[in-house]
Structure 1
Amino acid sequence: MSSIKIRTKQKDGLTIVRMLITHPMETGRRRDDLTGKTIPAHFIREVRIEHNQRLVASCELSTGVSRNPYISLRFRGGQTADSIRVTWTDNLGNTDSAETTIA
């Protein structure tokens, strides 16, 4: 199961893409309450959004973004049934992607 939930819709000639990514987004500065040890940094570095295999947005994230980031964007040129693909990569080399069609 993917860690990305994507919702799309069209309004006034724009395609609206909303996504929720399940990720801990640890800063590397927080301490574990039980052990007192620092929790290692674990955060998303890059999110890429593609429309029909064409890059429409690339976002660079850092430790300043909260857990389970929500990202929304609008672009022109999308049509019903076109594909939208979202891919993220984190600082540990983990990656995930999800694909949907424009509603």
Structure 2
Amino acid sequence: MATIRPRVKAPKKAAAGEIIEIKTLINHDMESGQRKDKDGNPIPRQIIHKFTAEFNGTEFFSVDLAPAISANPYLSFNAKVDESGEFTFRWFDDDGSVYEDTKSIEVT
């Protein structure tokens, strides 16, 4: 599997009450568990099964992902920002790993 690396694109500044777009992508093979290796043995499932986004410690977006999702899952969603703060993004892997990224935003 390639190195798992989350990436987030979000504005650094916004006006109070503005709706911003946030784009996320994580490098992950997303093995469904349905395929077999060259010897005919099943390749174990390993997917990012959940993604959450928080703003200043409050969750505002969450999604459960299924094995049919593509490799390197990309998500795009909106958030309304009323105050300056920090976004926290988390990807939860079947193997128990949690990948995290943060982005700050200044609201004027």
Q: Is the 8 A contact 2:4 2:28 kept in 1?
A: no
Q: Give 3-state SS (helix, strand or coil) of 1:20's partner.
A: strand
Q: Which runs of 5+ in 2 are unaligned?
A: none
1:71 counterpart (61, 71, 75)? 75
- Number of paired residues? 101
TM-score normalised to structure 2 length: 0.81
What does residue 39 of structure 1 align with? 43
Q: Which runs of 5+ in 1 are unaligned?
A: none
2:96 counterpart (69, 93, 96)? 93
Matched, 1:19 2:24: yes
Identity across the alignment (%): 25
How far apart are residue 2 of structure 1 and its match?
6.8
TM-score normalised to structure 1 length: 0.84
How far apart are residue 44 of structure 1 and its match?
1.1
Q: Distance in 2 between matches of 1:68 and 1:82?
A: 28
What does residue 58 of structure 1 align with? 62
CA change 1:68–1:85 in 2 (3 A) is: same
Structure 1 moving runs of 4+ over 2 Å: 9-12
Amino acid in the other structure paired with 1:29: Q
CA change 1:76–1:2 in 2 (3 A) is: same
C-alpha root-mean-square deviation of aligned residues, in Å?
2.3
How far apart are residue 77 of structure 1 and its match?
2.1
Q: Distance in 1 between matches of 2:81 and 2:68?
A: 32
